């Protein structure tokens, strides 16, 4: 049983809620709205923190729905100016390094993505506290946990809002640079609007040969998902990490 009561708390297989979750959300929100994007100063961080908490506190941590996050996301939709959007899959650190050098933005450069980046959270029925001991694991406990559903619904909204040319940084050191089961593959690519153009960059570890290319089967699969949606596609491969970052 995945939910053996220990100290009256359920014992899940995933890491527990981040210590000081509320405080971190409030502090990151203040930093983002005052320093990182002062244009967003009008956003009310106390309301955002409260809306975030009420999505999951006192609820069954395996029964998250997209709708649970509607009011939070409506307070701060993850939209980005046209042509500045960058997706990533298995390249988180590289993609963030890349956007820092350009006027580009990943999901973690939007307010909600910035607030939640790297954090974990879940509650439990009958308690107003976060479960700091453990949270459900996607594989071992349930897919409909609050953390997974958050990134899925936020990513869906991020992709739906894409316009003009957008980019995805893929890991050319993997046999399959495009993973149709990843959030980019399952949620973002299938939600791009017609007429958007996606540029894929396959970047491999410097000093090693690439393991996948634009003509490989994984990228052909990506192309077929996009063809079905009338999304234009361009693909650049055989770039080492250093080459990629230097040309940016």
Alpha helices in the chain (DSSP H): 21-31, 45-56, 70-75, 92-101, 111-116, 146-160, 183, 217-227, 241-247
Part of the chain binding ligand APR (CB under 6 A), chosen from 57-65, 178-186, 199-207, 211-219: 178-186
Applying CB under 6 A, among 21, 87, 121, 178 the residue interacting with ligand APR is 87
Closest of 161, 151, 118, 159 to residue 24, by C-alpha: 118
Q: Per CB under 6 A, does 183 bind ligand APR?
A: yes
Part of the chain binding ligand APR (CB under 6 A), chosen from 14-22, 49-57, 103-111, 207-215: 103-111
* Residues within window 135-164 making contact with ligand APR, judged by CB under 6 A: 148, 151, 155, 158
Q: Which residues contact 115 (CB under 8 A, 6 or more apart)?
A: 25, 28, 29, 32, 48, 52
Closest of 218, 157, 164 to residue 194, by C-alpha: 164
Catalytic annotation, residues: 82, 163
Least Å from the CB of residue 85 to ligand APR = 9
Q: Per CB under 6 A, does 107 bind ligand APR?
A: yes
CB burial readout 70-92, b (16+ within 10 A) else e: eebbebbebebeeebbbbbbbbe
Least Å from the CB of residue 107 to ligand APR = 4
Extended strands (E) in 57-210: 86-89, 134-135, 165-171, 197-204
Q: Per CB under 6 A, does 182 bind ligand APR?
A: yes
Q: Per CB under 6 A, does 177 bind ligand APR?
A: no
Least Å from the CB of residue 7 to ligand APR = 27
Q: Per CB under 6 A, does 184 bind ligand APR?
A: yes
Least Å from the CB of residue 6 to ligand APR = 26
Total residues at the site for ligand APR (CB under 6 A)? Answer: 18
CA distances from 4 to 126, 133, 135, 138 (A): 16, 13, 13, 18
Binding site for ligand APR (CB under 6 A): 87-90, 92, 106-108, 117-118, 148, 151, 155, 158, 182-184, 188
């Amino acid at each position: 049983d995945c939910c053996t009561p220990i100290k009256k708390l359920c014992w899940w297989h995933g890491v527990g809620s981040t210590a000081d979750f509320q405080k971190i959300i409030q502090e990151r929100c203040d930093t983002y709205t005052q320093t990182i994007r002062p244009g967003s100063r009008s956003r009310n961080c106390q309301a955002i923190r409260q809306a975030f908490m009420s999505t999951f506190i006192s609820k069954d941590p395996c029964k998250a729905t997209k709708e649970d996050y509607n009011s939070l996301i409506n307070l701060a939709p993850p939209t980005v100016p046209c042509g500045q959007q960058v997706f990533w899959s298995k390249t988180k650190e590289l993609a963030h390094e890349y956007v820092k050098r350009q006027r580009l933005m990943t999901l973690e450069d939007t307010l909600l993505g910035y607030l939640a980046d790297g954090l974990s959270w879940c509650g439990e029925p009958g308690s107003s506290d976060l479960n700091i001991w453990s949270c459900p694991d996607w594989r071992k406990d349930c897919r409909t946990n609050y953390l997974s559903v958050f990134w899925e619904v936020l990513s869906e909204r991020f992709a739906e809002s894409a316009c003009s040319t957008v980019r995805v940084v893929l890991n050319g050191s993997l046999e399959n640079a495009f993973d149709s089961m990843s959030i980019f593959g399952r949620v973002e690519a299938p939600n791009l609007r017609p007429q958007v153009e996606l540029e894929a960059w396959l970047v491999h570890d410097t000093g090693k040969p690439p393991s996948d290319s634009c003509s490989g089967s994984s990228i052909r699969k990506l192309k077929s998902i996009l063809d079905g949606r009338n999304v234009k596609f361009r693909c650049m491969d055989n770039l080492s990490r250093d080459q990629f970052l230097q040309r940016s």
